[in-house]
Structure 1
Amino acid sequence: MNDRQGRSGQSRGRAPARQAPARRAGSAAQRRRRTVAVVVFVAGAASFGGGLVVGAAHVPQERTLVERFAAAWSRGDYAAMYRDLSAASRDRFTREQFSAAYRTARETATAVTLRTGEVREQDGSYVVPVVVRTRIFGTITRPMTLPVEGEGEDARIAWGREHAFPGLTPGAKLRRETRMPPRADILARDNTPLATGPDRTSDVPDVAINVVGRVGEAPAERRDELRERGWPSDATVGLNGLERALDIQLAGTPGGTLRAGDTVLARTEPRAAAPVRTSISIPVERAAVTALADRLGGVVAIAPRTGEVLAFAGIAFSGLQPPGSTMKIITVTGGLEQGIADLSSSYPVETFTTLEGVELENANGEACGGTLTQVFAESCNSVFAPMGAQLGAEKLVDIAERFGFNRQPDIPGAAIPTIPAAGEIGDALAVGSSAIGQGRVQATALTMGTVAATIGLRGRRPRLSLLYDERQRAAPTTRVTRTEVARTVEKLMLAVVREGTGTLAAIPGVKVAGKTGTAELETTKRCEPTEENNPESCSDEADPTDTDAWFSAYAPAGEPEVAVGVMLVRAGAGGDTAAPVARQVIQAALDR
């Protein structure tokens, strides 16, 4: 319930205000300190929200205080709660200590919501209905007594740590003991077992070994997340592959005991999850593994319309590398959006361009120029580095982020693709280098497969999933660029495979749209002989281990059934080595 709902809800169904009872005579000390027992009933919970009925005219100020304190607790407003503590309580506990006590109790109990109702007077005390739900321990119903110190305007809550959670007593600590259920089985999209039982055995070990991944002790970066979920510190978790990406679905729900000191507040049994049917296609996965062979790299295949990941191999999710000229898909999208380029644009034939006084060569120093279609098909650095510089850092970063850079991928555990913030990229040379996938730009095969899928879906980025959807519904999408821009980029990508650097990805009778990438890890610039009359002192032969090979593609253009991202570490030119890998995976996906 939001604050507005809480306040409006407080005015409905209130009994007529009672006249404040006459005070009994007492000593001055008794009048200065009066303890009012406030009983709070709590019912099991998950986060903090809700509201109380606020007192009206003639309501004792002590009651108003309790209502205000409980309402603030409902919405997790610890600062407001702290303001209502007595001076002695504030002397004993800082605001940070006070807030930490509630947050720790909430995490320990795996609390998700806490709602409070109307305060009612009962036998000289105030009863506050509180509904709390927990992720693991179900419903907890217990009264809590809140002491009120002072009278009238001087009334304040005399707070102790035992008031951080119902059932606690002075000196007692809230603690839990949890245990995990058996891990769920993993199935392929055709229900073939990929990992079953505690030993994670499979009927297709050649496929399973490449996608299932490993389980083990939780890495340090996940411990806070898992503790909040209520998992025990010694829980076995997924470390990579499907075990990591589907960890939450496979783990089930922990069970255990919640105690306040020696008192048991709740006890539940672990609940195992049902077998998890994934989106993995066995024939496509085998094609990806076979095509990658024993090379270091990553391959991913995506069904663009549903967002399902059909296959992945190697370091498809984790291998961050400069994406090279596959980044030009993003750069030309920005150029088309801003009117910097269109299909009628033409460019001079050049072997290099100069930015900030530094020469940026085309691959192997080749002469390159012509129409936009031609320079994209031949992947001219001499065109797209200046285009990026003209686009500018701010717009280049914006379009890259729309395609998925600098955001957590949809696949849990996958590495985040990055491009520096606009103010951090640097000068025109750095922006131009980023526009051609060099500099400090980093991506994975998953990243560039998603970029291809986005163009294939006419500029809409699909939400990816490793779970099979029996109804094969269209995935939710995010608009990245205009439809007409994506159609133009598709025409450019078709030319790459038809007549440019990506012809080895061509499939007879299939319209394959793609883009090659050759990312320099070291300089590939042709050198000059250092010894006069000795040409052997400098070899013009390129070292293929100086570059990563990339290919980003989808097919068939117009109604894409598959999008792929391929990255091969230190494997030469993308058109020579990555494009044939993509062709094999695309063919398998179309044949499945």
Structure 2
Amino acid sequence: MPITTTQQQHAIMRRLFNGRVAASVVFILLALGLVIMRLYWLQITDHAHYTTLSTENRLRLLPRPPARGEIADRNGILLAENIPSIDLFIFPDKVKNLEETTEQLSQVIPISDDDRSRFDKLKKRHRRFERVPIRTGLNQQEMAKFAVKRHRFQGVDMGITLRRFYPYGELTAHVVGYIGRINERELESIDQAAYSGTSHIGKTGLERYYEDQLHGEVGIQKVEMDATSHIMRVIETQPPVNGKDIKLHFDIELQRIAMDGLGEHSGAVVAIDIKSGGILVLASKPGFDANLFVDGISFKDYDALRENPETPLYNRTIHGRYPPGSTIKPFLALAGLERGNVTANQTIWCPGHYNIKGSRRKFRDWKKSGHGTTNLYKAIEQSCDVYFYNLAYSMGIDNMHDYLSQFRFGQKTGADMPNETGAVLPSIEWKKKRYNKAWLPGDTVNAGIGQGYVLVSPLQLAYATAVLAGDGKLLPPRLASHIDDISTALADSDIPRIEKKNPLHWEQVIQGMSQVVEAPRGTAKRIRSKSYRIAGKTGTAQVVSMKQNENYDAEKLAKEKHDHALFVAFAPTDDPQIAVAVIVEHGGHGGSTAAPIARQIMDAFLLEESVETEQQVSSEEITEKEKTEEENAQQESDSAESGERRNDE
């Protein structure tokens, strides 16, 4: 029977349907095969890799910052310590609107613009789930106010941290220095792994110099976290290694005496223990409160410090560069003796001025009538300029440079402080390189009284005095005496010495320095002690130049143009223990302004009784006749100091 059209159409549709079903089955089977292959790859072939990734997402290693080492003076008094601080933190991942929350917080406790700015910077350095401080150092009243309204602030809480604190503020700011938050420039140079979890680093002073020792080693905490990066449990902890404590040679009470002694003047005082090389005093005035910098100083406070004409941020003890004036004369005298240019008893005639051969130019002595017949002892005792003009000229600047550089003039002393200046000890080659000019004979003459191009730091002056008193031993000046329980002292065999041609020459110079204090005409006779003998030298560093025939009159000059007063000394002369250098800016006379400060420090170091007691006893025992003689001698010695001035050519 013939097939109808309808039957043909059904057959065609059935074949078409069966084809589509077959194609679908094949597609499904292929897709299923691919899925199975992928599952096989993930679960079997690459199982170890994805297991590691999963574990890393769930388990994390978090840093545990160490406690910073503390710094104490020679008597164990803490100068830099860690104290608990109650801080206010925000967890950014728990706060919907940071700006609104911060504004509401500021209505409960004070939050300054500086606090907000610091928070914004720190937030960028932290992970979102980590807490970020918005306010530090809450007082009890602020803590109570927040505690009452804590329920209103989700994602905000108080916490305890260790905060660096400097209990003596201005007294130790230039010595201990301070720490501050790590900035972008420092992030590029430090080992970031070593500073994981740490926000502060030493910026200045000992905090910077001994950063590696004070910082410690970061610990590790292995924790399990949930999908929102919150800690579920602590699995393992490797505790941090706290920083090492540092004990100093430095004495806070001697430092206080130095700062008080400077009074209203700016200046610097350095005292060194001659036996150990330890720095006992490193006073730079004015100072500042180092605590301002710990959590970030405000723009207002920083501008006030930076714009202060007295430059309180400037550490005069190691960065200051001053003409040494007549304090350089004992070292020049020793150079002349050791080189054979002069003998101690050899005399010259001082008419009150000095002429370079072939020149009509006069270099004046402070005493217009002259000192007459003068040997080395008298030249040091009465600060005869003409004697040292002549000695310097006969030696020549390069010979002066070569000998004085042995005392570390013109170079760093090696003290454990950052960025110490080398100052300037000139030579013919130095002037050529620095100014592209020839050295002149007048330059040498001026250098002979510590003027002209010669510049020193207060630390260099104190160190050179300690070397002179310490038999030429070049003990490096150190602030730190122990790091933890380990001494920083060098073995005696490792300490270099200045080679002496004749030990008698050193004794002769010291005798001259002793007469500065002990002799009736000495320029520092007013600080004589009945308990021990002092060897010293006064000096004046000019601030403004004077013309050939012009006289210096302090009363006609503004204070900032007055001469600087200088004094160097050591004591006792028969068994030297302490060397001191004092520079009083615009203080005038070294004998009347700077020397008494040195005397107070030496008394406090060497004697049990107070300075005032001994000075009072000394003054009571002076007769009226002695008072008159002392006043006349002192007027002359003051004139000596005020006359120690550079002669301009």
CA displacement at 1:497 relative to structure 2: 1.1
Question: What residue in structure 1 maps to residue 531 of structure 2?
Answer: 509
Separation in 1, partners of 2:408, 2:590: 22
Q: Which moved more, 1:364-373 or 1:508-517?
A: 364-373
Question: What residue in structure 2 maps to residue 565 of structure 1?
Answer: 581
CA displacement at 1:328 relative to structure 2: 1.1
The one-letter code matched in structure 1 to 2:480 is L
- 1:457 is aligned, of 440, 465, 470, to 470
Matched, 1:494 2:527: no
Alignment of 1:131-280 (within 5 A): 181-197=66-82, 198-202=162-166, 207-209=171-173, 211-216=175-180, 236-253=200-217, 271-280=241-250
Residues 1:522 and 1:222: Cα distance change in structure 2 (over 3 Å): farther
Consecutive aligned runs of 4 or more in structure 1 exceeding 6 Å deviation: 177-180, 217-225, 227-235, 470-475
Residues 1:306 and 1:371: Cα distance change in structure 2 (over 3 Å): same
Separation in 1, partners of 2:281, 2:506: 25
User: Do the aligned partners of 1:306 and 1:462 also contact (CA within 8 Å) in 2?
Assistant: yes
Question: What residue in structure 2 maps to residue 361 of structure 1?
Answer: 364
The structure with more helix, counted as a fraction of residues: 2
Question: What residue in structure 2 maps to residue 340 of structure 1?
Answer: 341
Separation in 1, partners of 2:343, 2:190: 50
Question: What residue in structure 2 maps to residue 383 of structure 1?
Answer: 387
CA displacement at 1:354 relative to structure 2: 2.5
- Look up the SS of the partner of 2:575 in the other structure: coil
Question: What residue in structure 2 maps to residue 591 of structure 1?
Answer: 607
Question: What residue in structure 2 maps to residue 479 of structure 1?
Answer: 497
User: Do the aligned partners of 1:179 and 1:231 also contact (CA within 8 Å) in 2?
Assistant: no
Question: What residue in structure 2 maps to residue 394 of structure 1?
Answer: 398
CA displacement at 1:504 relative to structure 2: 2.9
Separation in 2, partners of 1:238, 1:223: 13
CA displacement at 1:183 relative to structure 2: 2.7
CA displacement at 1:473 relative to structure 2: 7.8
Residues 1:362 and 1:205: Cα distance change in structure 2 (over 3 Å): same
The one-letter code matched in structure 2 to 1:490 is I
CA displacement at 1:286 relative to structure 2: 1.9
Question: What residue in structure 2 maps to residue 550 of structure 1?
Answer: 566
Task: Tell me the TM-score normalised to structure 1 length.
Answer: 0.60
Separation in 2, partners of 1:443, 1:585: 22
Residues 1:473 and 1:361: Cα distance change in structure 2 (over 3 Å): same
Deviation string, structure 1 residues 479-520 (Cα, Å, up to 9, x no partner): 225233221211111011112112233222311011111112
Residues 1:589 and 1:245: Cα distance change in structure 2 (over 3 Å): farther
Residues 1:286 and 1:386: Cα distance change in structure 2 (over 3 Å): same
Matched, 1:309 2:285: no
Matched, 1:429 2:442: yes
Deviation string, structure 1 residues 33-60 (Cα, Å, up to 9, x no partner): xxxxxxxxxxxxxxxxxxxxxxxxxxxx
CA displacement at 1:253 relative to structure 2: 4.9
CA displacement at 1:194 relative to structure 2: 0.9
- Look up the SS of the partner of 2:569 in the other structure: strand
- 2:409 is aligned, of 390, 400, 405, to 405
Question: What residue in structure 2 maps to residue 324 of structure 1?
Answer: 325
Deviation string, structure 1 residues 290-346 (Cα, Å, up to 9, x no partner): 212232110011101101111111122222111111111221111011111222111
Deviation string, structure 1 residues 106-142 (Cα, Å, up to 9, x no partner): xxxxxxxxxxxxxxxxxxxxxxxxxxxxxxxxxxxxx
CA displacement at 1:563 relative to structure 2: 0.5
User: Do the aligned partners of 1:377 and 1:501 also contact (CA within 8 Å) in 2?
Assistant: yes
Deviation string, structure 1 residues 343-387 (Cα, Å, up to 9, x no partner): 211121222212465332223646234221111111122111221
User: Do the aligned partners of 1:512 and 1:553 also contact (CA within 8 Å) in 2?
Assistant: yes
User: Do the aligned partners of 2:350 and 2:387 also contact (CA within 8 Å) in 1?
Assistant: no
Question: What residue in structure 1 maps to residue 422 of structure 2?
Answer: 416
The one-letter code matched in structure 2 to 1:445 is P
Residues 1:539 and 1:588: Cα distance change in structure 2 (over 3 Å): closer
Matched, 1:446 2:331: no
The one-letter code matched in structure 1 to 2:392 is G
The one-letter code matched in structure 2 to 1:291 is G
Question: What residue in structure 2 maps to residue 349 of structure 1?
Answer: 350
Deviation string, structure 1 residues 445-482 (Cα, Å, up to 9, x no partner): 11111111111112222221111258788765432252
Separation in 2, partners of 1:447, 1:222: 30
Alignment of 1:88-167 (within 5 A): none
CA displacement at 1:234 relative to structure 2: 9.4
Question: What residue in structure 2 maps to residue 155 of structure 1?
Answer: none
Separation in 2, partners of 1:473, 1:408: 18
User: Do the aligned partners of 1:215 and 1:238 also contact (CA within 8 Å) in 2?
Assistant: yes
Separation in 1, partners of 2:383, 2:498: 23
CA displacement at 1:526 relative to structure 2: 7.6
Question: What residue in structure 1 maps to residue 306 of structure 2?
Answer: none
The one-letter code matched in structure 2 to 1:311 is V
Between the aligned residues of both structures, percent identity stands at 26
The one-letter code matched in structure 2 to 1:391 is M
Alignment RMSD (CA, Å): 3.6
User: Do the aligned partners of 2:377 and 2:509 also contact (CA within 8 Å) in 1?
Assistant: no
CA displacement at 1:269 relative to structure 2: 8.2
- Look up the SS of the partner of 1:478 in the other structure: coil
Separation in 2, partners of 1:395, 1:372: 19
CA displacement at 1:201 relative to structure 2: 2.6
Residues 1:343 and 1:421: Cα distance change in structure 2 (over 3 Å): closer
Separation in 1, partners of 2:540, 2:449: 10
The one-letter code matched in structure 2 to 1:518 is T
The one-letter code matched in structure 2 to 1:496 is V
Gapped regions of structure 1 (runs ≥ 5): 1-176, 257-267, 530-537
User: Do the aligned partners of 1:298 and 1:445 also contact (CA within 8 Å) in 2?
Assistant: yes
CA displacement at 1:398 relative to structure 2: 0.9
The one-letter code matched in structure 2 to 1:362 is D
Separation in 2, partners of 1:219, 1:403: 39
- Look up the SS of the partner of 1:348 in the other structure: strand
Alignment of 1:35-74 (within 5 A): none
User: Do the aligned partners of 1:346 and 1:371 also contact (CA within 8 Å) in 2?
Assistant: yes
Task: Tell me the TM-score normalised to structure 2 length.
Answer: 0.55
Separation in 1, partners of 2:443, 2:190: 40
Q: Mark the structure with the bigger radius of gyration.
A: 2
Deviation string, structure 1 residues 187-243 (Cα, Å, up to 9, x no partner): 111111111115433555574456432333689999998679977999744444433
The one-letter code matched in structure 2 to 1:487 is E
The one-letter code matched in structure 2 to 1:515 is K
Deviation string, structure 1 residues 513-539 (Cα, Å, up to 9, x no partner): 11111112213568469xxxxxxxx96
Gapped regions of structure 2 (runs ≥ 5): 1-61, 83-161, 221-237, 285-315, 432-438, 609-649
The one-letter code matched in structure 1 to 2:71 is I
User: Do the aligned partners of 1:306 and 1:473 also contact (CA within 8 Å) in 2?
Assistant: no
Residues 1:275 and 1:430: Cα distance change in structure 2 (over 3 Å): same
Question: What residue in structure 1 maps to residue 641 of structure 2?
Answer: none
